[in-house]
Amino acid sequence: MTIQTIFDVCVSVTLSLLLVAIFNDDQILNLLIILGQGHFLISYLYTHKAGKMNSLFRKKFFGLGFIVLGICLYVFKHQEHLNLLAFFTGVLFIFHYYNDELKIQGIKRYRFFVLGSLASMLAFSGVYANKLFNFSSPLLYILSIASLLVFFYFSYLAVGIRKNIGNNAFVYVLFFTFLNWAIPTLLISIPSVSVYQIFGFIILFHYFRWYIYYANIFKDTREPLYFYLKTIFNIHFLLIALYVQHVLMKYSTYLVFIFNPIFFYGWTIMHILLSVRKNDY
Amino acid sequence: MTTNNIHFKKILTTWTDPTFISKLFFSFGFFTLSLIINYYAVRYATVNAGEPIGDLILNILPKIDTTFIHEKLASILQTITALILVCNPKLINFTLRAVGVLVLTRAVFINLTFLGLPQDSVPLQSFYTYGGDLFFSGHVALAFMIALIFWNIPKIKYLYLIISLGMGIEVLVGHYHYSIDVFAAPFITYGIFILSKKLFKEDAYALEKDTRELR
């Protein structure tokens, strides 16, 4: 773990904690939607710049889009399923954020790393079930114990590849996976922490990590850095303006497909499934 | 390759250019910001509107209900304009910015003097208008601005000049505006168009070049 990594993680953690501390649940959700749509747009733009938006990608995009749109429209009509959609999206996001964090760290991937994401998903599904559905049955603790067991097995396998990936990467992977078990498990016993604060922190951390990651890549190259910073500004300027218009027009226009939480969960699912990298497995 | 294929390829190339897309985000954001400022400006103007004043043409013209044209047809025209721009993407950035400047200028003008609504006017209230936003007519100005942007493409130019004229007649017949709101609109719009060309030189150059190519 280099000084740069520690600095980047600290900045991301601090900004994320600050934002979830100062805003209420509704504001956190709106912030996640605005920054989230920005994150998706930048992701698609750079996928296109890398020449990866080929015919196969487009087929996946539209095919998945139809299915996800159908699900969102169904939930839009039957809002009693909203929390279920939020739960599913939140857990799927943990898989995405775990794998992306390892990619940002530049850690060489092994197949069994999927156990790390599984341990994280199990732990977070417990805290999400607790917060979203007021779930407090013993199953909650079974999830936490299962997550811990998967973590132990993951650690056992990780010891075997320590020399291949180096001590720094080994420590980071174990510590990161451990935190992904410990923090959600701890949060179950803190009722004052809302699910939006948990979503908010994890998601904002993920956004900031990516922005800082690319800024580091471009920082020594003038033109790409300028284009990158300008694009981030332009996208968020547009999204904030559109959001304000959405509010002023009383949430009754096409912008509902961008800013309504249900459709935002749909866009999130699409982004996660379209950004799965074959090389990670 | 046929001319249509070449043109389609050019459109696709522009739409997939990352630099164009990045610029479009800003232009669209600027345009949306102008609409938000307009939202508050029209409400402020309406709340502070004074008494109706005399008007030579409104005194002569009987009032006719033109709500359908004022609202629905205007929305249809917006959609048609959007489609024309989708097919001519290089003009989008300048159009959005120039229209943004037009909306912002109008937001200032409508609050300089608090004109009262014309006698027997039934104000239409929406996100874009609140009734008391009078000088100058947005319907006339917007159509005229599009005509100016597409000045080098005769078919589109004449279409929007006719629309602008039609809107002028419609708002007078519907008693939505005073005649000065309508007659001043083209002149102010022309000034804003020239100002926009100076403010957005790069986009204005692209506008000039591409509309001549499309002729």
Contact by Cβ (8 Å): A116, A98 = yes
- Whole-number Cα distances in Å, B81 to B87, B96, B145, B148, B215: 10, 11, 12, 13, 17
Best of B12, B17, B25 to disrupt the A interface (most A CBs within 10 Å) is B25
Question: Residue B4: CB partners within 8 Å, gap ≥ 6?
Answer: none
Tens-digit pLDDT profile for residues A190-246: 888 999 999 899 999 999 999 999 999 998 888 899 999 999 999 999 999 999 999
**H helix runs in B116-178, sequence order:** 138-149, 154-173
CB contact under 8 A, A245 and B19: no
Query: Which pLDDT tens digits describe chain B residue by residue (215 residues)?
Result: 677 787 888 889 999 999 999 999 999 999 999 999 999 999 999 999 999 999 999 999 999 988 887 778 888 888 999 999 999 999 999 999 999 999 999 999 999 999 999 988 888 889 999 999 999 999 999 999 999 999 999 999 999 999 999 999 999 999 999 999 999 999 999 999 999 999 999 899 888 888 887 76
Read off the pLDDT band of A252 (50, 70, 90). confident
Question: Residue A256: CB partners within 8 Å, gap ≥ 6?
Answer: A246, A263
Q: A280 pLDDT exceeds 70? A: no
Residue A201: the pLDDT is 94
Contact by Cβ (8 Å): B135, B181 = yes
Nearest chain B residue (CA) to A53: B16
State the Cα–Cα distance between residues A105 and A99, nearest whole angstrom: 10
Best of B17, B20, B21 to disrupt the A interface (most A CBs within 10 Å) is B21
Average pLDDT for chain A: 92
Q: How many CA atoms lie within 13 A of A222 on its CB side?
A: 0
State the Cα–Cα distance between residues A276 and B31, nearest whole angstrom: 35
CB contact under 8 A, A49 and B21: no
State the Cα–Cα distance between residues B86 and A275, nearest whole angstrom: 28
Residue B18: the pLDDT is 93
DSSP state of B68: I
Count Cβ atoms below 10 Å from residue B145 Cβ, excluding itself.
25
Residues in A lying within 8 Å of B, measured between beta carbons: 41, 45, 48-49, 227, 230-231, 233-235, 237-242, 244-245, 248-249
Residue B1: the pLDDT is 60
Tens-digit pLDDT profile for residues A69-122: 999 999 999 999 999 999 999 999 999 999 999 999 988 888 889 999 999 999
Q: In chain A, what percentage of residues exceed pLDDT 90? A: 75
The dihedrals phi and psi of B58, each to the nearest 5 degrees, come to -65, -30
Read off the pLDDT band of A274 (50, 70, 90). very high
Nearest chain B residue (CA) to A234: B26
Nearest CA-CA distance, residue B58 and chain A, Å: 32
CB neighbour burial string for A7-41, b if at least 16 within 10 angstroms, e if fewer: ebbeebeebbeebbeebeeeebbbbbbbbbbbbbb
ipTM of the shown complex: 0.91
**H helix runs in A166-280, sequence order:** 167-188, 195-218, 222-248, 256-259, 261-274
Best of B13, B17, B20, B32 to disrupt the A interface (most A CBs within 10 Å) is B32
State the Cα–Cα distance between residues A203 and A19, nearest whole angstrom: 11
Residue A257: the pLDDT is 96
CB contact under 8 A, A242 and B32: yes
Question: Residue A262: CB partners within 8 Å, gap ≥ 6?
Answer: A72, A75, A76, A82, A85
CB contact under 8 A, B19 and A234: no
Count Cβ atoms below 10 Å from residue A52 Cβ, excluding itself.
10
CB contact under 8 A, A231 and B25: yes
Identify the domain containing residue A65 by its residue range.
3-280
State the Cα–Cα distance between residues A241 and A48, nearest whole angstrom: 25
Count Cβ atoms below 10 Å from residue A272 Cβ, excluding itself.
18
Query: pLDDT higher for A167 or A39?
Result: A39
DSSP state of B176: S
State the Cα–Cα distance between residues B128 and B47, nearest whole angstrom: 15
The dihedrals phi and psi of A162, each to the nearest 5 degrees, come to -55, -45
Number of domains in chain A: 1
